[in-house]
């Protein structure tokens, strides 16, 4: 259960260099991880278009609610799946997706690959009808949850990955110009989507947002 988390922790912190469903609307595109016919909102559709060339699917392996297991570069979702960790989503994210010291030496490509597989899985869930607005209690056992619950829970680790990428780019002297991708905004998105997480975890995220070098 915890081996995968240890493996990815080593990968991310230790490296210094570093069949679509029928009747899918044109907006969905032909991404292999889109499993349903639910029309995607424009923002999600744009993300799908941006990442689909970098993401491959294993049609014989499923992760959350029958979304195919997806891979981008060195990262495969099933190996960094928060729902199998025995931790809350944000506990998993903060203990797994750690940066190097100094921050600028973090393996940006590995972080981007990890974000890609989270974005792909999220889009797959949304295509099958998940509801971003659903609020549920955090539990360590997810197997009986619906796609709507998975979709709610995946958002905190996704935004945490985006925050870490923004921190790395800022430390490298390339802070994002898009306000939606800046560290403080993403920190707020993490905390807004942290479902019943301990205050200590939220404090840790806030502290990371101030460490930009």
Residue for token digits 């991880």? 33
Task: Look up residue 207 and give its two tokens.
Answer: 């502290």
Q: Would you say 148 and 154 are in contact if contact means Cβ atoms under 8 Å apart?
A: no
pTM reported for the whole predicted model: 0.82
Q: Would you say 20 and 34 are in contact if contact means Cβ atoms under 8 Å apart?
A: yes
Model pLDDT, residue 42: 93
pLDDT in tens, 47-73: 999 999 999 999 999 999 999 999 999
Task: Look up residue 65 and give its two tokens.
Answer: 């609610």
Model pLDDT, residue 29: 56
Q: In the sheet that 75-76 helps form, which strands lie side by side, from edge to edge?
A: 56-62, 68-72, 75-76
pLDDT in tens, 152-191: 999 999 999 999 999 999 999 999 999 999 999 999 999 9
Model pLDDT, residue 130: 57
The Cα angle at residue 145 between residues 74 and 153, in degrees rounded to 5: 55
What does the radius of gyration of the chain's CA atoms come to, in whole angstroms?
16
Task: Look up residue 25 and give its two tokens.
Answer: 């609307």
Per-residue pLDDT averaged across 14-30, rounded?
A: 42
Question: What does the domain layout of the chain look like in residue ranges?
Answer: 3-161
- For the chain, give the number of residues: 213
Q: Exposed e or buried b for every residue in 69-105, given b needs 16+ CB within 10 A? A: bbbbebbbbbbbbbbbbebbbbbbbbbbbbbbeebbb
Pairing of strands 75-76, 68-72: antiparallel
Model pLDDT, residue 23: 38
Q: What percent of the chain has pLDDT over 70?
A: 77
């Amino acid at each position: 259960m915890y081996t995968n988390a240890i493996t990815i922790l080593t990968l991310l912190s230790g490296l210094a260099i570093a069949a679509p469903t029928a009747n899918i609307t044109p907006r969905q595109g032909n991404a292999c991880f889109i499993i349903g016919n639910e029309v995607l909102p424009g923002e999600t559709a744009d993300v799908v278009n941006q990442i689909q060339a970098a993401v491959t699917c294993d049609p014989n392996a499923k992760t959350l609610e029958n979304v195919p297991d997806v891979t981008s570069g060195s990262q495969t979702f099933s190996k960094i799946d928060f729902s199998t960790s025995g931790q809350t989503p944000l506990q998993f994210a903060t203990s797994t997706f750690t940066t190097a010291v100094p921050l600028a030496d973090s393996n940006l490509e590995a972080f981007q690959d990890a974000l890609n597989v989270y974005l792909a899985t999220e889009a797959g869930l949304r295509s099958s009808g998940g509801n971003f607005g659903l609020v549920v209690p955090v539990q360590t056992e997810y197997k009986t949850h619906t796609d709507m619950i998975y979709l709610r829970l995946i958002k905190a680790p996704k935004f945490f990955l985006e925050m870490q990428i923004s921190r790395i780019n800022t430390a490298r002297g390339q802070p994002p110009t898009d306000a939606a991708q800046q560290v403080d905004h993403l920190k707020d998105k993490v905390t807004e989507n942290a479902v019943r997480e301990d205050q200590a975890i939220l404090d840790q995220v806030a502290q990371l947002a101030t460490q930009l070098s």
